[in-house]
Amino acid sequence: MAIYLNGQFMPIEEAKISVLDRGFIFGDGVYEVIPVYSLRAFRLQEHLRRLQHSLDGIRLANPHSESEWVNLVNQLIARNSGEDQYLYLHITRGVAKRDHAFPQPPVTPTVFMMSSPLPSPPAELLHSGIACITAPDNRWLRCDIKSIALLPNVLLRQMAVDAGCAEAILIRNNEFMTEGAASNIFVVKNGTLLAPPKDNLMLPGITYDVVLELAAANGIPHEVRKIAVAEVFAADELLLTSSTREVLAITQLDAKPVSTGKPGAMFARLHKLYQEFKRDVMRKSQD
Ligand code: PDD
């Protein structure tokens, strides 16, 4: 597996970073996860735009221009095997003497990229759906930044795993649903797809955008608005999206069935549209 670190491609075993890297010491960095279908990075421009938003959010200058990123990403794809991959891009504020404040003058950021195989979700998961728990969203107030400081997300996901579940659905202030620990969540009620608004309390998912676009293009009623916790528990269907898990039905919540306990009609429709989109668009263009 070829990775990229600070200007060079190399085998992962040879990659070394300093223990003083601010990513290691403070979690002072941001990342992106980009799916690749048929060797094409999906929505690369949108991912790079979100990366810029994250870098702006932590006041770190972008170490590369857009064309440099495109070139690096394409090289990384070509150096790794498999038509479908997911890329991990990681930028930290670099190596400096330990001090919370930014190094002055700034140091060179650390840039790391790797690729992993991207399997489609197994048929079994599509058939049965996944189980989730709800958990209080105890993260910070800048969840729109794709920060590498993921300890709250790690603990929340582990709570789900400890309960035999695949994901934690996060509830802010005991009032409204934000997203999953590493995914976006949609609620379906009376045939309408409900999505929480892209604000500072959730990561603006690229898959979330695709699902809303598919809904709009196919006449599926949809609304983007705050979703009260009671609406999550009264949902006809719950859906989960992410670059690595595509669209999945959530069929159990807090050990109780969601509606019938089986993937519903909205899931079936969106999953089909997503697979067609993957085949006809993602595998054929840079969009
Ligand atoms: N996570 N919300 C959070 C907190 C996430 O970490 C992710 C993705 C998403 C979905 O975003 P997208 O559709 O752009 O993948 C929402 C990635 C996959 C990860 O951390 O591995």
State pLDDT tens for residues 224-264: 999 999 999 999 999 999 999 999 999 999 999 999 999 99
Pairing mode, strands 237-242 and 246-253: antiparallel
Residue indicated by tokens 């990403």 = 73
Has residue 166 been placed in a domain?
A: yes
Question: Are residue 145 and residue 256 in the same domain, yes or no?
Answer: yes
User: Tell me: the pLDDT tens digits for 150-173?
Assistant: 999 999 999 999 999 999 999 999
Ligand 1, closest atom to CA 245? 18
At residue 282, the pLDDT reads 93
pLDDT at 44 over 60: yes
Range of the domain at 181: 123-282
147 lines ligand 1 (CB under 6 A): no
Question: Are residue 95 and residue 130 in the same domain, yes or no?
Answer: no
178 lines ligand 1 (CB under 6 A): no
Q: How much of the chain, in percent, has pLDDT values that exceed 70?
A: 99
Nearest alpha carbon, ligand 1 atom 4: 182
Beta carbons of 117 and 146 less than 8 angstroms apart:
no
Question: Are residue 186 and residue 93 in the same domain, yes or no?
Answer: no
Q: Residue 75 to residues 2, 40, 71, 169, 248: CA-CA distances in angstroms?
A: 10, 11, 6, 36, 31
184 lines ligand 1 (CB under 6 A): yes
Has residue 225 been placed in a domain?
A: yes
Query: For residue 195, what pLDDT band results from cuts at 50, 70 and 90?
Result: very high
Question: Are residue 167 and residue 250 in the same domain, yes or no?
Answer: yes
pLDDT at 117 over 90: yes
For the chain, how long is the longest CA-to-CA vector? Answer: 59
Ligand 1, closest atom to CA 243? 15
At residue 1, the pLDDT reads 82
